[in-house]
Amino acid sequence: MPAEPFFADTDADLVDWNRLLLSSPAGSFVISSNWFSSLATYGFEAKYLLTRDAAGTLTGGAALAVFRMGSFSWIDVPHGPALRKKDDAALHALLQAIENYAERIRAAFVQISPFEPMPYEERWEREAAKHKLPYDPGLPRGANMGVGAALLARGFYRGGTHTVLPVGRYGQLVSLENGVPLEGFRQNTRRDIKLSLQNPAVSVQMAEDMEALRLSYSLLVENAVRAGYALRPWSSFVQAVWEGVRNGTVLVMNAAYDGKPEGTIVVGLGGRRGSYAMGATSRDRHPHAYLGALLQYRAMEHLATRGFEAYDLTAIMGGGVQDFKRGFRPTYYRLAGDLVKIYRPRLYRAYRFVYPFLRRHRRALARAWHAVFAPEPQ
């Protein structure tokens, strides 16, 4: 029988938690202590609920985003609970502890998003076909720990997505079980990688110190300005990425052309997978260096040598970005979706009414709320 679940309160607890996420097929880098806590700028308190067996080995856990607005509160549990292996007793203990905590803080509702495959539905096959991708309802392999079924048995229901957290619900996996399938990539992708590998002006290095991390961030900023999208501030980037580099849950690689930094990639590690998190290349300056394709390939190569089973190209983007990702011949997968249990119906209805506004302005609202109610220490 598992011991009573508890909230992590030591660095050792979080070290064990991050290790579990790396080894469990249902693990996700998004809920590693460094990455998840860095998302707290969205206005929540990050808490890690863990359980150990009689020998003291961590058997499972969940990352809780606890949102509070005065007397109104709710709990979001993304990509979890995560278990070392299928363990009904540990799962039951964690779910009961989540519900007990929700009752204690008088939460309006709890939303849990298991990291397990969505059962086959024809609409997901159509969605994959729309993007010219194969679809496999069995992916990610081994991730089904019975969380969705246990939640349905406890009175949770599929009520649609009502989270403000930037958490993926699908992805595009490249299998690494037999190494990097270079010859299986699309012909022009394969050609670009080989040309880049043969180019003596091109080099790729792991980012393992703060100077290399600053180079990575400067390239990401340059790309964000050029493309017109928002990038997390440096302090949040350091918390998510640098701490991840040090604890083994994040991989960063920088590419250079004639010794000058021209490309970078950030990959989150969890669930025996690497997941593309962000990247940037200066394509305009060196359009025939093919640094983007090379960085993806080098990341896959590094992960394969470490025994990782797959590489996730994550979100489907529009236009040229998705065509670039499609060149690696990934397979589309869909996660089980969000399940909700309501404790205070009137407050939940009010939340659903304002949810579109919260979702649309989540970054600005999070910054304002954080500045007023949780200012940075002086």
What pLDDT is recorded for position 40? 87
Q: With both helix axes pointing from N to C terminus, report the angle between 362-373 and 345-360 in degrees, rounded to the nearest 10.
A: 110
- The whole-angstrom separation of Cα 242 and Cα 21 is 18
Determine what percent of the chain is predicted with pLDDT higher than 90. 76
Q: Is the pLDDT of residue 375 over 50?
A: no
What pLDDT is recorded for position 370? 47
Q: What is the mean pLDDT of the chain?
A: 91
Q: Is the pLDDT of residue 203 over 80?
A: yes
| Residue predicted with more confidence, 119 or 167 | 119
Give tens-digit pLDDT for 341-364.
Answer: 999 999 888 888 877 776 666 556
Q: Is the pLDDT of residue 374 over 60?
A: no
What pLDDT is recorded for position 362? 58
What pLDDT is recorded for position 321? 87
Q: Is the pLDDT of residue 230 over 60?
A: yes
Structural domains in the chain plus CATH codes? 6-168+335-373 (3.40.630.30), 178-308 (3.40.630.30)
- pLDDT band, residue 283 (cuts 50/70/90): confident
| Residue predicted with more confidence, 138 or 230 | 138
Determine what percent of the chain is predicted with pLDDT higher than 70. 93
- What b-and-e string marks burial along 4-36, b requiring 16 or more CB atoms within 10 Å of the CB? ebeebeeeebbebbbbbbbebbbbbbbbbbbbb
| Residue predicted with more confidence, 320 or 218 | 218
Q: Is the pLDDT of residue 160 over 70?
A: no
What pLDDT is recorded for position 365? 58
What pLDDT is recorded for position 32? 96
- The whole-angstrom separation of Cα 98 and Cα 92 is 10
Q: Is the pLDDT of residue 98 over 60?
A: yes
Angle at 93 between CA 40 and CA 15, to 5 degrees: 45
What pLDDT is recorded for position 216? 97
- In residues, how long is the chain? 378
What pLDDT is recorded for position 376? 41
* pTM reported for the whole predicted model: 0.91
What pLDDT is recorded for position 359? 64
27 contact partners, CB below 8 Å, separation of at least 6: 20, 21, 82, 115, 270, 271, 272
What pLDDT is recorded for position 350? 84
What pLDDT is recorded for position 371? 53
The sign of the CA dihedral 236, 238, 239, 244 is positive
Averaged pLDDT, 207-236: 92
What pLDDT is recorded for position 348? 86
What pLDDT is recorded for position 367? 54
- The answer to whether the peptide bond before residue 140 is cis (omega within 30 degrees of 0) is yes
